[in-house]
Amino acid sequence: MSTLKCISPIDGSVFAERETLSPEAARDAVATARNAQKSWAARPLQERIDLVMAGVAAVGAMNDEIVPELAHMMGRPVRYGGEFGGFNERASHMATIASEALADIEVGEDATFKRYIKRVPHGVVLVVAPWNYPYMTAINTVAPALIAGNTVVLKHATQTLLVGERMAKAFKSAGVPTDVFQNLFLDHDTTSELIAGNAFDFVNFTGSVGGGQAMERAAAGTFTGVGTELGGKDPGYVMEDADLDAAVDTLIDGAMFNAGQCCCGIERIYVHESIYSDFVAKAVAVVSSYKLGNPLDEETTMGPMANVRFAEEVRAQIREAVAAGASAHIDPFAEDDGGAYLTPQILTNVTHDMRVMRDESFGPVVGIMKVSSDEEAIQLMNDSEFGLTASLWTKDLDRAITVGDQIETGTVFMNRADYLDPGLCWTGCKNTGRGGGLSVIGYQNLTRPKSYHLKKVTS
């Protein structure tokens, strides 16, 4: 056993700590989930839906405690009110579509045969959730997995140590059996041992590329399905006919909100040369107006990064880019302490030779490049190891579709960015990973097909 410690980015203090389970205790906990699964799946679908949604509501009832807790754990300002809106939206959508998404696929019936395909739950699903949007990313899988008849084991990030505990408490209070939805404190070795030992029937991981690779290595040879949502370097492309003010406001917010710690945050922007200078000037004005500070202060619009080492990586990328010829447009904020509190930055004169335009930054920095054509923008957007989302800005729908069809990405946005629509499949390509959450496809990934070919006895 070891101790997991959440270090608050506000002041570097230990905000919470929990002991991890021993491998034996972890195996026992997962065994209870397996024993509980068949009886859970045997409950009527509507009963499972009602219990899950009651659990979601119970999380909402905790929101006044959750919001400052999140500020302490990962630095998001309290003024933004937490994540319950998106948490509830995603769970509610998956509840609404469950009956249709999980319905039998009727292939045909006549006097001789009845043929159909059922969607049946995998069994025990492991959800490994990240710290940056700890409630919303977890519910993406927890809600549909439970509704589909799986039992769920949640392992949450150490940085947001208390989130899984709160979710499990809320769902238990709503009537979801304890063994059906468990939050476990596990170290990496125990997690890998459980996966390698076929403890789970499906694993959903959201996190780093290295973490996703570790999950796949642990599952190698077990035939356990692994869904991953990993890194991103999401581009925005502003065409000459775009609504300039809307593009600036949305793309810069997409780059800087949550201190830039968003999987689908905007990390690089390409702007048509005819409006490039105006875009940069407006973007600099927006970022210069931010108030960096303690996230518990209602006036703060940007809190610290979740961990000092995350901020150090962003500073390193900025420093290297400037040394290679990039221009930094934001003067250091007085509140920048050289640690977790970091000045947001806009860079121009950047190239794809610089890490800030290639590696995931996951912080409040964005590089802006001038382009002269759709072809140039497409080439640059595709020049990345990642592929999660891309944001296109134009008044021409057909043009956006034509450009979008050529981008290597999981989602194409037009005139918006940094949003997860639960009616659409949340997915990626390249080093962003494989799989798909939410939507009808989310249910397909959390179940397996089972075919029935029934020959009738006729006299």
Active site members: 229, 263
Closest-CA residue to 382 (of 409, 355, 414, 412):
409
CA distances from 101 to 108, 119, 220, 411, 439 (A): 19, 9, 30, 21, 9
Task: Report helix, strand or coil for 14.
Answer: strand
Phi-psi region of 9 (alpha: psi -120 to 50; beta: other; left: phi over 0): alpha
What is the rounded CA–CA span in Å between residue 425 and residue 444?
Answer: 11
Q: Are 335 and 295 in contact (CB under 8 A)?
A: no
Rg (CA), the chain: 23
For residue 248, what are the CA distances in angstroms to 254, 280, 290, 404?
Answer: 10, 8, 15, 20
- Contact call for residues 157 and 37 (beta carbons, < 8 A): no
Element (H, E) at 389: strand 389-393
The tokens of 50 are what? 């009602």
Q: Chain-centre distance of CA 15, in angstroms?
A: 24
Are β-strands 345-348 and 365-371 bridged in parallel, bridged antiparallel, or unpaired? parallel
Residue 44, judged by CB atoms within 10 A of its CB (0-12, 13-18, 19+), counts as: exposed
| The two structure tokens encoding residue 103 | 């319905």
Structure tokens of 314? 């962003």
**Which is it for the CA torsion 42, 43, 45, 48, positive or negative?**
negative
Question: Do 346 and 256 form a contact (C-beta atoms < 8 A)?
Answer: no
CA pseudo-torsion sign 38, 39, 45, 51: negative
Report which of 383, 400, 410, 354 is spatially closest to residue 227, judged by C-alpha positions. Answer: 410
SS3 286: helix
Q: What's the gap between Cα 100 and its chain centre?
A: 25
